[in-house]
Amino acid sequence: REVGTLALQVISLIQSIQACDFTMLVVDDNNGSGKLIDWYLSRGYQKVPKLQAMLGSPNGIHGIISMMTPTNRILPDDCQIQWW
């Protein structure tokens, strides 16, 4: 459950340690429903259309959307990552 949310937390923490200011990703909503894009939007990501061409999908012609969010440098209270 919530594997995607856990993955985003891991990515954000790793990039925070690396002193990255933003987390960038490319979303391929291949069935066209928009659910995956909405999922990322609900987690704080924003579309960055100016990066579309650079990331290989000018004007989103391949259904691929570039997105980004500021890197979270604080461990959220609901984080389920366990360190041994």
pTM comes to 0.74
pLDDT for the residue 42? 92
For the chain, the C-alpha Rg in angstroms (whole number) is 14
Query: In sequence order, which residues have a C-beta less than 8 Å from that of residue 38 and are 6 or more positions away?
Result: none
pLDDT for the residue 31? 72
pLDDT for the residue 77? 67
pLDDT for the residue 41? 93
Place of tokens 């960055």: 48
Residue 74 DSSP code = S
Q: With a cut of 50, which residues of the chain have pLDDT below it?
A: none
pLDDT for the residue 81? 66
pLDDT for the residue 1? 61
pLDDT for the residue 25? 84
